Amino acid sequence: MLLLEGLLDEVLQNYSLDKNRLYVGGLSMGGMGTFELVKRNPKLFAAAFPICGGASPRAIRKYKRPSWWVFHGNADPVVPADFSTQMVKRFKKRGFEVRYTLYEGVGHNSWDLAFEEPGLFPWLFSNTK
């Protein structure tokens, strides 16, 4: 995570980016990393889309932003769907903008369906800070 944050700082300092339109997403361990990166940088991203990831709901107060679309398969044998479900419940309780797509009968490869979602990229790019 420290290397990723260092790379992110380098990119932000040396490239012309719209800092109101920064997005993050990842799958499996990258889905967990998505939650963690947003937790560590709560004001940086406009939207996040973790896929079959999760995080500790106890750290919920460290999250400030962004808009979320969380994906998971309810038959995931690698990362239990409850990891995402608990985060979504906590986000909703705090009034966060969050969508949750839980794929029935889908295992760990829920990213196949998530990336086929026709609304994913229009939703993602419609978000700004």
Please report, for the domain that includes residue 69, its CATH number: 3.40.50.1820
- Using one digit for the tens of pLDDT, what is the confidence trace for 30-76? 999 999 999 999 999 999 999 999 999 888 888 887 999 999 999 99
Q: Count the domains in the chain.
A: 1
Structural domain contains residue 14 = no
User: Among all chains, which residue has been given the structure tokens 């106890």?
Assistant: 58
In this predicted model, which residue has the larger pLDDT, 107 or 59? Answer: 107
Phi, psi of 21 (to 5 degrees): -130, 55
Asked whether the predicted pLDDT for residue 1 surpasses 80, the reply is yes
Structural domain contains residue 13 = no
Which range of residues forms the domain containing residue 64? Answer: 19-126
Whole-number Å distance between alpha carbons of 104 and 73: 6
* Lowest mean pLDDT across 18-32, 60-74, 102-116: 60-74
Task: Tell whether pTM > 0.85.
Answer: yes
Q: What per-residue confidence (pLDDT) applies to 28?
A: 97
